[in-house]
Structure 1
Amino acid sequence: MVIKMGAVREDAYERIRILHEAGLVSKKVAEFCHDTINMVLEERPDADEEKFAMFVTHLAMRTQRVIDKKEENPLQPEVIEALKEESSYEKSCLFAERILGTIDVKFPQTERDYLIVHLCNLFS
C-alpha cells in the first residue's frame, strides 16, 4: 500500500511538473497542487489512480483559470441537487474548504462546485 501511494503521489507530482513546464500553470498553482496532493492522499491513501489523476489535472487547470479570471459555465441545478444526495457530499464540502483555505485565491461558487464534484468522485 505504501508503495502504491508513493507511486500515485509521484505520478501526480509529475503531472503538475509537466503542466508547469509547459507554461499551463504558474509556480503558485503547482505548489498549491502539491500541497493538495498530500492532503488528499493523507485522507484517502487508497485513492483510485485514474480518478486521482483526473482530479489533480482539473485542480491545476481550474485554479489557473480562477487566477486568470476566466469564468467557467456553472453546473446545472439538477447536477448540484444530485450531488447533494451523494454519501460523500458533506465530507467533500468540508474538504474543499480545507483545500481552498491553503491558497490566497478566491474561488467563485462555480469552481467550488466543480471541486466538490471531483472530491465526491474520489471519496465515493
Structure 2
Amino acid sequence: MDKLYAIQDVFISVQSALDEVASFGERLKNTFNWTVPFLSWLAIIALCLATLLLYLIPLRYLVLAWGVNKFTKKLRDPYMIDNNELFDFLSRVPSDVQMMQYCELRVDPGQSPNKRRRTNLS
C-alpha cells in the first residue's frame, strides 16, 4: 500500500507541474492575444525598449553589466528578497481557465436606481 500511495503522490506532483507549465503557456498566449490590453501594451513597450537597447549598446557590455549586477546584488543589499519580474508580470495575465471562470456582472434593468427614485418621488 505504501508503494501505491508513493506512486499516487508522484502522479499528483507531475500533474500539478504540468498544470503550471500549461498555465504559463496560456498566460503568454493571452498576453499577445490582447486579453488584457494594458498588460499587452506594457509588454510591447518593454520589447521595443529592449530592441532599442540591444541596437544601441553592444551585447558584450550588457552581459557584463548583468553579471556584475547579479554577483554583487547580495553585497549591496543582503536582506533583499529575490523575485522574477517576468513571472510577476505573467501572474497578472489570466490563463484560459481563469478567462472561462470570469464573467461580468450585469445590471438588471428593472432594478436600476433611477427607476426606484422615480417611483419613490411620485
Using the size of structure 2 for normalisation, the TM-score is 0.28
Indicate the structure whose relative CO is greater, using CA pairs within 8 Å and at least 6 residues apart: 2
Using the size of structure 1 for normalisation, the TM-score is 0.28
Larger Rg: 2
